[in-house]
Amino acid sequence: MTDVALLQAQVALTDDLLRTIVRAAGLVLLSGLLATVFAAVYRWYARTQIPDGVAVLLGVSGVALRLNLTKALASVIGDSTEILTIDDAVFNLATLLLAVVAALIGRRSGDRLGESVSVVLGARRVETDVSAIVRTVGRRTVVTLPEEIEDMEGYDPVSPETKAKFAGETLVFPRRQTVEELERRVVERIKSDYGVGYVDAELDETGSITYLAVGSRQAGIGPTLPPETVAVAAYADPAFAASAGDVVQVYRTNADGPERVAGAEVRGVHDDVVTLAVDAAEADAFDPETRYRLVTMPVEPRADREFASLLRAAEETMGVVTVAPGSSLVGVPIGALDVAVVAVRPADAPVEAIPSRDRKIAPGETVFAVATPALLRRLETAAAGGAEPVAAADDDD
């Protein structure tokens, strides 16, 4: 071989080696770049570091796809029957090993980049669609219940034994939830896991409970009885279609004929025993050994009974607040409140039922509202002058 041919062979070998090195370096840089991008996005979105295995898999996957695609196109376009040579196998193996190292380095640099982006864009991100997301650390949202649990006003208290079962307990929920969603999940968990009828919970933006009160569900007909009214059981012959809510006249038979005993309302029927709601002054007129006759009266609208039945079955309850002179509720229209105001009683005037939405609240007035316990608690605070009014979001007044 002449010197010229030898020189040409050395130049060709050097050229092939440089191309191989450049190709391998490009693939290694591709692996590091992919790992960097994914690590930065993962840190910005999940607020935690991407696992090593995931970063390596994402980086090396791009390299493997590039190698296989190049070989497949070469075999098709060049009509080559050789699938893989020893040199190609050595090159692929060495490139993949270097790609793993590059992916690990890219994971670290991408994590720092994502953390810097989160710091720079954090304020803007909180002010937009993620403003209500609970800011937690880790992959789960952990809520610890307080040791001291309050009793809800207007509800029967929960027994101390039941409170002790979940006081100080830790509840685990998924991440990426708004404060409202997390409050709803906490309420549902306490109700379902511990058999509590009503729960009023308030959480801050970090997922910590700032207020927790519970109440038991009222049972029986006692809560639905109007003032100065009692329930009595009597032997009687009610009509076949008699049901709760029917207004009846109660009679008993004497030697002189039928005698009216009282007016009542049917609350329950079981065989020949009827539970009646009667005035407290007429309860002593009933004899447990006497059989009575019932005369069903024409159907009349009973708005008070229907309201009591609906309120008893709903999650909402009624609250009564008196507006202080310096309260933020003064001058606010009824329609601007995010609670249902059913009546307003001025200081020296009779009660106004179902006031107009344009009516403005004056100092010293008593407001009767129906809402959830959390909203009623905010309304009470506002009435006392300690907070802004519970205003509807679409108020333009």
Q: Tell me whether strands 229-236 and 291-296 are parallel, antiparallel or unpaired.
A: parallel
Which of 82-91, 172-181, 331-340 shows the lowest mean pLDDT across its residues? 82-91
Q: Mean of the per-residue pLDDT values for the chain?
A: 78
Cα diameter, the chain: 149
pTM of the predicted structure, to 2 decimals: 0.44
Give me 150's structure tokens: 């309050």
Give me 169's structure tokens: 């307990």
Burial of 141 (0-12, 13-18, 19+ CB in 10 A): buried
Which of 70-84, 232-246, 317-331 shows the lowest mean pLDDT across its residues? 70-84
CATH number assigned to the domain covering 314-383: 3.30.70.1450
Give the separation between CA 107 and CA 56, rounded to whole angstroms: 8
Taking residues 8-17, what's their average pLDDT? Answer: 67
Is it true that 222-300 and 314-383 share their CATH fold?
A: no
Tens of pLDDT, residue by residue over 29-83, are 888 888 888 888 887 777 678 888 888 888 888 888 777 766 655 555 555 555 5
Report residue 365's pLDDT band, with 50, 70 and 90 as the boundaries: very high
Tens of pLDDT, residue by residue over 197-217, are 888 888 888 878 888 999 876
Number of H helices, E strands in the chain: 7, 14
Closest-CA residue to 337 (of 385, 387, 379)? 379
Give the separation between CA 366 and CA 320, rounded to whole angstroms: 7
Counting every residue written for the chain, the total comes to 397
**pLDDT the model gives residue 314:** 66
Question: Which residue in the block uniquely carries the two structure tokens 């970090």?
Answer: 206
Residue 214 pairs with which residues in a beta bridge?
Answer: 151, 199
Q: Are 328 and 390 in contact (CB under 8 A)?
A: no
Q: Where are the alpha helices (DSSP H) in the chain?
A: 3-46, 52-77, 86-127, 160-166, 179-194, 303-313, 373-383
Which of 84-88, 265-269, 299-303, 373-377 shows the lowest mean pLDDT across its residues? 299-303
Give the separation between CA 191 and CA 200, rounded to whole angstroms: 11
Whether domain 222-300 has CATH 2.40.50.100: no
Taking residues 73-97, what's their average pLDDT? Answer: 66
Closest-CA residue to 158 (of 212, 209, 213)? 213
Tens of pLDDT, residue by residue over 126-151, are 443 444 555 555 567 888 899 999 88
Burial of 101 (0-12, 13-18, 19+ CB in 10 A): middle
Residue ranges of domains in the chain: 3-127, 140-215, 222-300, 314-383
